[in-house]
Amino acid sequence: MKICLMNHFSDKMHPQLQSQGYEVVSENQCDLASSEIEAILLRSKNLHNLSLPKGLLAVARAGAGVNNIPVERMSEQGIAVFNAPGANANAVAEMVLTAILMQVRHVEPALEFTGRLDSHSENLAQQVESEKSQFQGRELQGLKLGIIGLGAIGVLLANKAVALGMKVFGFDPHISVENAWRLSSEVIHKSSLTALLNDCEALSIHVPYMEATHHLLNQEKLALLPAGSFVLNFSRDEVVDRQAVLSALEKEQLSAYITDFPESALLQHDKVMCFPHIGASTKEAQENASTQVIHSLDAFLKRGEIRYSVNLPELPAGEIPNGCSRLLVIHQNRVGMIAQITDCIEEAEENIIEMNNRSREALAVTLIDLQSDKNQELLSEVERLEAVLSVRYC
């Protein structure tokens, strides 16, 4: 199988994939018109305007967001899309804590002050002593931190903040059972966004960007925060209404806005701290994300197992039994599809050893172990079914 690597990856990536039996080509060696490319592994490369290989089975992004991937188009073609949720969670959580400390201890203006000092001045010590009071801050102990979104990043941030003595409030109506178990019992659950906002001195938002979260923090929501609070956005730029933030800063409703998404309207504002999108930029996070998507990709290509897909259902799968073949069918989630597939198998006089079917919204996946070798005629018959998007032997 041939995998195309887009964007830069660590030197470990090629040998790791090659050791698993894959042929690896880089982007400048990759002919996307070739039907030989079966998987694409990328970071930030934009696929929206590219023609993709006809034989493409999967796209995997070494990161959490998939805005650079045309997921809907992939789904229509039965192409699996994988990401690496949680791989960069620790890196982002640590960056948010860094930003909180910088804000409450006035680190940025303090550094600017010392940067302007004359190192040759005879009165240097006296000047420092006379001016340092303007940078008096507060400690993290007791700071009221609100967190919107208790996914992998939100949970880690909440737990770290609790350990540092902060009073932490959390809101997430869709928190998973796994994340609920991982969340510290000291985190105070809020049943509504309004209740959360009313209690915050600092607010950090950690939700994916989608239609429902566009401008989640708008003028109305920001007005619910106590005067003088500050907001941190290391999630996505569009989840916060930038103009509403600027207005709240001018009215002193907010004391500061800290974001990982610099924009021209924010860069020159003295109450805005912008980072150059470095929340997940650690060697550890990048290697974790790469390792995670390689495992997901390998399990899917070789066994039909689906983990961490953004468009297909989770589907566990063990090793293919000796002497058997495994058929993977990605199809529209319609009534009667399993019957149509099994009719094809019956007509081919094949015997089913085990079958698993899972669905996710408009798509479904059927995984079937057959007591026979791979049968190309059966493959062709299943492929002809109207609602089948893709079918292959693993």
Check: CB of residue 333 under 8 Å from CB of residue 363.
yes
Within this chain, do residues 93 and 81 fall inside the same structural domain, yes or no?
no
The residues that bridge with 37 in the sheet, in sequence order, are 2
Calpha distance 87→292 (Å, rounded): 7
pLDDT band at 314 (very low <50, low <70, confident <90, very high): very high
**Sequence-separated contacts (24+) of 64-70 with Cβ below 8 Å:** 64/88, 64/208, 64/280, 65/208, 65/209, 65/236, 66/310, 67/209, 68/42, 68/44, 69/42
pLDDT of 30 above 80: no
Within this chain, do residues 54 and 83 fall inside the same structural domain, yes or no?
yes
Tens digits of residue pLDDT in 369-394: 999 999 999 999 999 999 999 999 99
Within this chain, do residues 210 and 83 fall inside the same structural domain, yes or no?
no
* Mean pLDDT, rounded, of the chain: 93
Per-residue pLDDT at 272: 97
Q: Is residue 3 part of a domain?
A: yes
Within this chain, do residues 230 and 93 fall inside the same structural domain, yes or no?
yes
Within this chain, do residues 2 and 45 fall inside the same structural domain, yes or no?
yes
pLDDT of 113 above 80: yes
Q: Tell which wins on pLDDT, 45 or 143.
A: 143
Calpha distance 96→90 (Å, rounded): 10
Sequence length of the chain is 394
CATH assignment of the domain containing 33: 3.40.50.720
Tens digits of residue pLDDT in 336-361: 999 999 999 999 999 999 999 999 99
Per-residue pLDDT at 14: 81
Within this chain, do residues 305 and 386 fall inside the same structural domain, yes or no?
no
Provide the token pair at 143: 């700071």
Per-residue pLDDT at 54: 86
Within this chain, do residues 180 and 270 fall inside the same structural domain, yes or no?
yes
CATH assignment of the domain containing 326: 3.30.70.260
Tens digits of residue pLDDT in 154-196: 999 999 999 999 999 999 999 999 999 999 999 999 999 999 9
Q: Is residue 125 part of a domain?
A: no
Within this chain, do residues 175 and 251 fall inside the same structural domain, yes or no?
yes
Q: Is residue 109 part of a domain?
A: no
Calpha distance 87→74 (Å, rounded): 23
Within this chain, do residues 293 and 347 fall inside the same structural domain, yes or no?
no
Q: Is residue 333 part of a domain?
A: yes
Q: Is residue 198 part of a domain?
A: yes
Calpha distance 332→75 (Å, rounded): 10
Burial class (CB in 10 A: 0-12, 13-18, 19+), 69: buried
Per-residue pLDDT at 242: 95
User: What is the average pLDDT across 238-247?
Assistant: 96
Calpha distance 15→22 (Å, rounded): 9
pLDDT band at 35 (very low <50, low <70, confident <90, very high): low
DSSP string for 260-323: SS--HHHHT-TTEEE--S-TT-SHHHHHHHHHHHHHHHHHHHHH--B-SBSSS--B---PPPTT
Instruction: State the residue range of the domain holding 392.
Output: 319-394
How many folded domains does the chain comprise?
3
pLDDT band at 34 (very low <50, low <70, confident <90, very high): low
Within this chain, do residues 19 and 60 fall inside the same structural domain, yes or no?
yes
Amino acid, res. 200: C
Tens digits of residue pLDDT in 193-234: 999 999 999 999 999 888 899 999 999 999 999 999 999 999
Per-residue pLDDT at 210: 85
Within this chain, do residues 351 and 210 fall inside the same structural domain, yes or no?
no
The percent of residues above 70 in pLDDT, for the chain, comes to: 99
Calpha distance 70→66 (Å, rounded): 8
Within this chain, do residues 174 and 240 fall inside the same structural domain, yes or no?
yes
